[in-house]
Structure 1
Amino acid sequence: MALALTYGTSRTLVRMRLVAFRHALEDQLRRSWIVTGGFVGLALAGGTLWVAARGDQDVLVVVLAVWMLGWVVGPLFAGGGDETLKPEYFTMMPLPPRTLSTGLLVAALAGVAPVISLIALLSLVVVSGGVAAALVAVPALLLQLLCFVLASRLAVAVYGVLLQVRSGAVIAALVNAFILAFTAQGWALIVAFVSTDVQGTVGKAARIAPSGWGLVAVDAAGRGDWLEVLAALAGLVVLAGLMLLAWSALLVRRTTVTRAGRTPRRLLTARTPEGAAAAKELRSWTRDLLYGHRAVFAVAYGLFFCMMPLAIGMKSMLPWAGPAAVVMAGSMAANLYGADGTAFWTTLMTPGSSRADVRARQRAFLLVFGPSTLLITLLLTWWSGDTGAWPLVLSVLPALLGGAAGLVVACSVYAAVPTTDAHKRSGNPLNSGENEGETMGIVYVMLVLVATTCAPALVMALYTGWWGVPVGVLSGVLAWWYFGRVAARRLDARGPELLTLLRHGRSPAEQAKKTAGLDALPKWRRTLAGFCLGFAAIPLFPQAVVPAVFKLTGNHDTKSWFLALYQDGPWQWVVIVLMAALGLSMYAFGGLTYYRAKKRAPDGSVAVVAG
């Protein structure tokens, strides 16, 4: 009876998942994200199979560990992962926790990411050395895939529990920031701690990790060690069972726990509208756990990103921890009004409150990130001992703070993305609704926009030294004032439309109008534009901006993966300029394609975009 119920539930949930996926493909933006992600995933899976074909098991086991790490941390950066079927939808149904968790697990396997991971795990069959090993590889790769998906679901569930309490939100932010920084700067830690026999040492560690147990079983089958085969496969089965039990328990907690309201610790005592708005916004940053999580994440990311090279004695990046934190903070706060949701009506219904509300949000942003990033910049620049960095960072930091404080309000007004209201958040606080792809797109755009606000100050500081500081202060103040003024005027003129968007989302007619221009373009052009916007940052920042800063600040020792720094003499600048031109061209092509498509008439009567 229990098996029949589990089978029926799983079958129904899989059908629901597939129907939802089919509907997701009808949305142009979501389809572009799915196609781009699928393309990148297939390329990575092909690379994994190529590694397996070479027969180097030490490298393969490390690659499989990276796949499992991607499953664990990927959802933490993508709005809590794909939760098309939320557990809360089934609270009123008489389903035992094990049945529901099993059904949701089976439904989670019916997606693009599990299929791509399955292709990558076929490397276990490729690397097997005989018939017996190949036969063992089949259950091993299936169990390995099951553990990947379960680890992902369990990580999201644990992360959601942490975000329910203040200390947990801080811990989760620190872990999140470290992992993201490690993806960019982890090479320094690897070089420092594994100075000899890198491949062998890391390979041995990866075999001990659960991600390597499948390969251990295949390797043992090739040697005829059947006891080790059984131990490895049994370990995967036990691990999957334990993770399923833990996930089931967390699902019960998520769907049954109620949270009572708390009495405010301190009431608002402001006597002016501006003061009340500022106090309210500051309380949002200190009391809303998601706000606090993002603030800690931004500052911690800047610290981790610039301090990891200390493992190899490199101090030249220390002064830039504060500016890096500001750039990340600006991108994370790019949807302030979208995060308000329907609570925005309280602002809208108060006459003349737009300007006060916008300036309050800007003031709160500066109060949250200004003192902390300034202190970080001063301390780490002093620690680095690089006297030439002082005018650079002190010019860049005020420009970035003012630019970010202006852009976050302007972006959140002009490009607000509807999210789940705070009082309707599910047990997975990372999941903000059905628009995670659009939200992530705005985050990536804001990374570029905020970083560019320091360009005048940086150029002035590079050529004139300390004269860059007043330029940075002036540009920061102007950006803060101008973008805040633009945002306030937009709220006065289009406030009701913004509230309607946040309350109801975009109507089918608006969605159709939004994608009409894109649908009229050739498929290859839409795909190429999405690819350019998604990957233009790679040639522009790591391969152009960072090596240019290294050369201008006199750092000639660090090469890492910066292609330009491996060239000789003037060819370094040639490569830097070419990479910058490539990145800017990709952004220009993608941006102009979407901009011109958006200007198309819904009926397609406008002439086809040139080019």
Structure 2
Amino acid sequence: MTAMTTVLGTMAGMKLAVLRHSMSGQKAGLVATGGVLGLVLAGGTLFAAFQSGDLLAAAYAVWMLGWILGPVFSGGGDETLRPEYFTLLGLPPRRLAAGLLAGAFVGVAPAINLLALAGLVILGVRQSPAAALVALPAMLLQLAIFVLLSRVAVAALGIALRSRLGAIGTGLVNGAILAALGQVWVFAIALGQTGGITPEASAVLRYLPSGWGLAAVEGAGTGSWDRTGLALGAMVVLVALLLAAWAALLTRRASAARASARGRRPMTASTPSGAVVAKELRTWSRDLVRTHQLTFALAYGVFFAGAPLLLGLDVMLAWAGPVAVLMAAAMTAGVYAVDGTALWLTLMIPDAADVRGRQRAWLLVVGPPVVALALGLTAVTGGPWPPVLAVTAALLGGGAGIVPLISVYALVPGTDPHRRGGNPLRVSEDDGALTGMAYAVLALVALTGAPAAVVAVMYGWAGVAVGAATGVLCWWGFGLLAQRRLHGHGPELLQMMRTGKRPPSRQGGWVRIDELPKREQIITALCWSVGAIPLFPQGIVAGFLKAQDSETRSWFLALHLPEAFQWPVIVFMVLLGLGIYGLGLWIPYRHRRSAAVPEAS
């Protein structure tokens, strides 16, 4: 018992120390942004506790899905303490799992989730003092279930990604569930049409592990102590089972996956660019992480666009292809980061047209299934042909151009493929920066489709020509910039990949975010993370819906206001978003000017 207590305390202290010394730069800004958003969600959950138990059960089900599926977007989840670090200590698997679990409770996400679980206490206080007392252990057990489900899901996903069938299956499941979360308004409207949460759905929500704590509190409130005891006992048993499963999965994680013995046809190419294409296509066929990413993107596009069918609406179905392009670009944002230090092979052959080859390979992999989705589903719905074709062409070219461009201009040092360990999703030591890059690519690629979309809506088939021209220009222009950056700053990029540290800014150049004072680092990262919210959904998208006289209001603030205030609020949101982004640019520019003053004197 003493040894176990020592392990628990040591690992929790290690996690706290690592977090305390790593909260700087973009990571601090991302953590702060995630913390603010988490507090908003926790506040919404506490509000649901004042409404009804059914709403609270639904909210906790969403929290559980977030814990399980969040690691897909965050590089395999929070692994500040990686299991591989402790393999030489000879700790028994269950003791190692328990220690890592203690470390997992240290962080912003568990603290915010514990705040959200305080809704159990609120519900208990509303019922009886006994129910309020039962809510306290139920909170802790529920949090332990969420954290363990996340860890088991990550470990199981890592094992599943060792086979092609597992990579495809997990991509389909994750894409479908995250698309459902992205279209939660559809389910909210569907529930509203049926008069709220049905008794059957209410029962299902309480049978889920996320509803067991709620069932225990409600049992205590009604005097059904057998129900309370059964729910709490089931939670204790589930925690023990998940801990045992995690320990077993950690043991399997330590074993290395065997290389495929299947024969491969030799790669042949007549040009340097063709050799890069052949190499990239071979990588796409062998790397199961890329298989998972592509499957996820296609599944997300189909399920995201198909969700409104629950309401009898097929207006989004034709847009499955463009949505899949955006997600594929976001998932493959670190196209050079995943190479690790193998970048030196590219730098040794400067005339190999590496960027052009990667662009062609990306289009050959992503293009055919996306075009098939766009053509097939648009034919099913009967249109709209010009906007869909125009946007698809523009986004394919934009994705092929922006993915390598941002990968070399905002390179996030990646982990060498042979050092990824037991978590294949972890392709970078700085998962926060890689996640931020993915969201940036998502927004930038979406902007490349905006001109074609506007022309197609206004002038019909002329937009298709604009989309094709935009796609070609983005592919050629952004690719040229990426190629020049790769050739001009190749040694610096390789040094960054080897050491994980960015070289100092050149004299007179822009100051990077990690060179700013800590307070400015956090403010700048918050600006780049939050600016998209007022600019795109609350501003540009709301303005588009307003111009189209759409009846959809969803979560767009301006569309819920009286008619006279809608356009002013839309314009204000656009200006606010631009202002936030401008502040994010002005802060490093100000330090650039102040740094240049001593030189001038």
User: What TM-score, normalized to structure 2?
Assistant: 0.92
Q: Could you tell me which residue of structure 2 aligns to residue 599 of structure 1? A: 592
Is residue 103 from structure 1 mapped to residue 99 from structure 2 by the alignment?
yes
Q: Provide the C-alpha distance between the structure 2 equivalents of 1:441 and 1:340, rounded to a whole number of angstroms.
A: 19
Q: Could you tell me which residue of structure 2 aligns to residue 582 of structure 1? A: 576
Q: Following superposition of structure 1 onto structure 2, how do residues 473-484 of structure 1 map, counting pairs within 5 Å?
A: 473-484=468-479
Q: Could you tell me which residue of structure 2 aligns to residue 119 of structure 1? A: 115
Q: Following superposition of structure 1 onto structure 2, how do residues 477-496 of structure 1 map, counting pairs within 5 Å?
A: 477-496=472-491
8 Å contact from structure 1 (residues 407, 483) kept in 2: yes
Gap change, CA 1:526 and 1:497, over 3 Å in 2: closer
Gap change, CA 1:540 and 1:317, over 3 Å in 2: farther
Is residue 377 from structure 1 mapped to residue 374 from structure 2 by the alignment?
yes
Deviation at 1:516, TM superposition (A): 6.5
Gap change, CA 1:588 and 1:30, over 3 Å in 2: same
Deviations 1:359-392 (A, max 9, x none): 1101011111222222211111122223xx2122
Which residue identity lines up with residue 392 of structure 2 in the other structure?
Answer: L
Is residue 400 from structure 1 mapped to residue 395 from structure 2 by the alignment?
yes
Deviation at 1:130, TM superposition (A): 2.8
Which residue identity lines up with residue 127 of structure 1 in the other structure?
Answer: L
Q: Following superposition of structure 1 onto structure 2, how do residues 207-606 of structure 1 map, counting pairs within 5 Å?
A: 207-260=206-259, 262=261, 264-353=263-352, 356-386=353-383, 389-506=384-501, 514-515=512-513, 518-519=516-517, 523=519, 527-550=522-545, 556-566=550-560, 573-590=567-584, 592-593=585-586, 595-596=588-589, 599=592
Q: Could you tell me which residue of structure 2 aligns to residue 169 of structure 1? A: 167
Q: Provide the C-alpha distance between the structure 2 equivalents of 1:377 and 1:550, rounded to a whole number of angstroms.
A: 22
Deviation at 1:33, TM superposition (A): 1.8
Deviations 1:393-413 (A, max 9, x none): 222222221121111121111
Deviation at 1:137, TM superposition (A): 1.7
Q: Provide the C-alpha distance between the structure 2 equivalents of 1:181 and 1:116, rounded to a whole number of angstroms.
A: 24
Gap change, CA 1:543 and 1:477, over 3 Å in 2: same
Gap change, CA 1:251 and 1:605, over 3 Å in 2: farther
Q: Provide the C-alpha distance between the structure 2 equivalents of 1:305 and 1:598, rounded to a whole number of angstroms.
A: 43
3-state DSSP class of the match of 1:599?
helix
Is residue 73 from structure 1 mapped to residue 72 from structure 2 by the alignment?
no
Q: Provide the C-alpha distance between the structure 2 equivalents of 1:12 and 1:545, rounded to a whole number of angstroms.
A: 50
Q: Could you tell me which residue of structure 1 aligns to residue 18 of structure 2? A: 20
3-state DSSP class of the match of 2:146?
helix
- Please report the RMSD computed on the Cα atoms of aligned residues, expressed in angstroms: 2.7
Deviation at 1:505, TM superposition (A): 1.3
Q: Provide the C-alpha distance between the structure 2 equivalents of 1:268 and 1:296, rounded to a whole number of angstroms.
A: 25
Q: Provide the C-alpha distance between the structure 2 equivalents of 1:469 and 1:477, rounded to a whole number of angstroms.
A: 12
Q: Provide the C-alpha distance between the structure 2 equivalents of 1:164 and 1:453, rounded to a whole number of angstroms.
A: 35
Q: Provide the C-alpha distance between the structure 1 equivalents of 2:11 and 2:69, rounded to a whole number of angstroms.
A: 25
Deviations 1:323-346 (A, max 9, x none): 222222222222211111111111
Deviation at 1:569, TM superposition (A): 6.4
Which residue identity lines up with residue 35 of structure 1 in the other structure?
Answer: A
Deviation at 1:539, TM superposition (A): 3.3
Q: Provide the C-alpha distance between the structure 2 equivalents of 1:473 and 1:229, rounded to a whole number of angstroms.
A: 62
Q: Provide the C-alpha distance between the structure 2 equivalents of 1:195 and 1:324, rounded to a whole number of angstroms.
A: 27
Deviation at 1:558, TM superposition (A): 3.7
Q: Match for 1:57 among 53, 57, 64? A: 53
Deviation at 1:101, TM superposition (A): 0.5
Q: Provide the C-alpha distance between the structure 2 equivalents of 1:96 and 1:432, rounded to a whole number of angstroms.
A: 28
Is residue 184 from structure 1 mapped to residue 182 from structure 2 by the alignment?
yes
Q: Could you tell me which residue of structure 2 aligns to residue 196 of structure 1? A: 194
Q: Provide the C-alpha distance between the structure 1 equivalents of 2:535 and 2:594, rounded to a whole number of angstroms.
A: 33
Q: Provide the C-alpha distance between the structure 1 equivalents of 2:153 and 2:203, rounded to a whole number of angstroms.
A: 24
How many residues are treated as equivalent by the alignment?
Answer: 594
Q: Could you tell me which residue of structure 1 aligns to residue 149 of structure 2? A: 151
Deviation at 1:446, TM superposition (A): 1.3
User: What TM-score, normalized to structure 1?
Assistant: 0.90
Which residue identity lines up with residue 32 of structure 1 in the other structure?
Answer: G
Gap change, CA 1:518 and 1:490, over 3 Å in 2: same
Gap change, CA 1:567 and 1:94, over 3 Å in 2: closer
Q: Provide the C-alpha distance between the structure 2 equivalents of 1:143 and 1:373, rounded to a whole number of angstroms.
A: 44
Deviation at 1:424, TM superposition (A): 0.7
Deviation at 1:184, TM superposition (A): 2.2
Q: Provide the C-alpha distance between the structure 2 equivalents of 1:476 and 1:421, rounded to a whole number of angstroms.
A: 32
Gaps of 5+ in 2: none
Deviations 1:503-535 (A, max 9, x none): 221069779x74465317xx4x65554334323
Deviations 1:270-297 (A, max 9, x none): 2332221111011122221112222222
Gap change, CA 1:186 and 1:516, over 3 Å in 2: closer
8 Å contact from structure 2 (residues 25, 522) kept in 1: no
More displaced 10-residue stretch of structure 1: 575-584 or 117-126 = 575-584
Gap change, CA 1:602 and 1:22, over 3 Å in 2: farther
Gap change, CA 1:604 and 1:225, over 3 Å in 2: farther
Deviation at 1:5, TM superposition (A): 2.2
8 Å contact from structure 2 (residues 401, 479) kept in 1: yes
Gaps of 5+ in 1: none
3-state DSSP class of the match of 1:198?
coil
Q: Give aligned-pair identity as a percent.
A: 49
Q: Could you tell me which residue of structure 1 aligns to residue 31 of structure 2? A: 34
8 Å contact from structure 1 (residues 395, 457) kept in 2: yes
8 Å contact from structure 2 (residues 534, 573) kept in 1: yes
Deviation at 1:425, TM superposition (A): 0.7
Q: Could you tell me which residue of structure 1 aligns to residue 86 of structure 2? A: 90
Which residue identity lines up with residue 599 of structure 1 in the other structure?
Answer: R
More displaced 10-residue stretch of structure 1: 266-275 or 561-570 = 561-570
3-state DSSP class of the match of 2:183?
helix
Q: Provide the C-alpha distance between the structure 2 equivalents of 1:16 and 1:559, rounded to a whole number of angstroms.
A: 47
Gap change, CA 1:578 and 1:379, over 3 Å in 2: farther
Q: Provide the C-alpha distance between the structure 2 equivalents of 1:34 and 1:464, rounded to a whole number of angstroms.
A: 44
8 Å contact from structure 2 (residues 386, 464) kept in 1: yes
Gap change, CA 1:256 and 1:331, over 3 Å in 2: closer
8 Å contact from structure 1 (residues 341, 418) kept in 2: yes
More displaced 10-residue stretch of structure 1: 80-89 or 267-276 = 267-276
Q: Provide the C-alpha distance between the structure 2 equivalents of 1:334 and 1:517, rounded to a whole number of angstroms.
A: 24
